[in-house]
Amino acid sequence: MDRIGGTARTILAAPSAPDAPAPQANMLPGVLIDGVQWTGHSGFRVTVGRATIYIDPYRVEAGPAADLILITHGHYDHFSPRDIERLAHPGTKLVAPAAVAERLAGDVTSIAPGEALEEDLVRGVGVRALAAYNTSKRDAAGDPFHAREAGWLGYELNVLGERLYHSGDTDVIPEMDGVAGVDVALLPVSGVYVMTAAEAAEAARRIAPRLAVPMHWGHHIGTRADALAFRRGVERSCGVEVRLMSPRADAGRSAPLYFRK
């Protein structure tokens, strides 16, 4: 090996050397995001190897059967028995807050805010439940749409070392500090029952994920304008990347799963 070749090799090898600078904090997530698909509203499909996880499936048109389904709370646009029936098979594991779990049959695990599942229901995937509740969104009678006492949930998934946070229906709450630095944060932006776009931008600033994805828009509440307002708010307040996903893409297609404009 001549000197020039040796030098070139050294330069090529430099980024992975032990004393190389740490990767930038805002680098895009690794493989996790490639396995995350928006199925519309607050519904997502997460593919981990051969396993399929759904969070709050609602009017999912097509897709592989579920190995694990996570439900955040009992509102019909998050807990949809029809979708669960369609996506589940006899071995599907279901995880939900107590009030939802008692309405489900099969392999059901009830979980409360702050709890983590001890065993992996899907190999390589850890599940932790976080609180989700309103601080400022109330109905005509003055009651929060999502009361803290209800024990409703957001979820943090640890997928082979990468972390995903699905906030559920919530306002900005101190419990979000517990998911600071996750790789991907899925945040509602519609207002009315959940965070407004501006409040969701504050949540993104506080959580500082590597990537934030707006949800809870595009069905009967929340518009594309809300998702775009969220992205503008995040761009103004912090360097977090925002990705708008398209709910039209499904598992069988090679079309882009998201678009930026």
Q: Is 14 exposed, middle or buried (0-12, 13-18, 19+ CB in 10 A)?
A: exposed
- Measured from the CB of residue 74, what is the shortest distance to Zn ion in angstroms? 8
Compare residues 169 and 199 and give the one whose CB is closer to Zn ion. Answer: 169
Which listed range, 75-83, 175-183, 236-244, 252-260, lies at the site for Zn ion (CB under 5 A)? 75-83
- Measured from the CB of residue 73, what is the shortest distance to Zn ion in angstroms? 6
Torsion over CA: 226, 229, 235, 238 (sign)? negative
Asked if 162 and 31 touch (Cβ cutoff 8 Å), the reply is: yes
Binding Zn ion by CB under 5 A: which of 67, 156, 162, 169? Answer: 169
* Residue 171, Ramachandran bin (φ over 0: left; ψ between -120 and 50: alpha; else beta): beta
Compare residues 162 and 169 and give the one whose CB is closer to Zn ion. Answer: 169
- Measured from the CB of residue 38, what is the shortest distance to Zn ion in angstroms? 14
Q: Report d(CA 34, CA 258) in Å as an integer.
A: 10
- Measured from the CB of residue 19, what is the shortest distance to Zn ion in angstroms? 48
Q: Collapsing DSSP states into helix, strand and coil, what is residue 166?
A: strand
Binding Zn ion by CB under 5 A: which of 75, 163, 210, 231? Answer: 75
Which listed range, 15-23, 101-109, 135-143, 164-172, lies at the site for Zn ion (CB under 5 A)? 164-172
- Measured from the CB of residue 41, what is the shortest distance to Zn ion in angstroms? 7
Compare residues 126 and 168 and give the one whose CB is closer to Zn ion. Answer: 168
- Measured from the CB of residue 145, what is the shortest distance to Zn ion in angstroms? 6
Which listed range, 9-17, 114-122, 161-169, 247-255, lies at the site for Zn ion (CB under 5 A)? 161-169
- With a CB cutoff of 8 Å and minimum separation 6, the contacts of 100 are 71, 73, 74, 79
Compare residues 101 and 238 and give the one whose CB is closer to Zn ion. Answer: 101
CB atoms within 10 A of CB 52: 21
CB atoms within 10 A of CB 8: 12
- With a CB cutoff of 8 Å and minimum separation 6, the contacts of 219 are 40, 41, 58, 59, 77
Two structure tokens written together for 123: 């190999």
- Measured from the CB of residue 116, what is the shortest distance to Zn ion in angstroms? 23
By CB under 5 A, is residue 67 in contact with Zn ion?
Answer: no
Where on the chain is the footprint of Zn ion (CB under 5 A)?
A: 75, 169
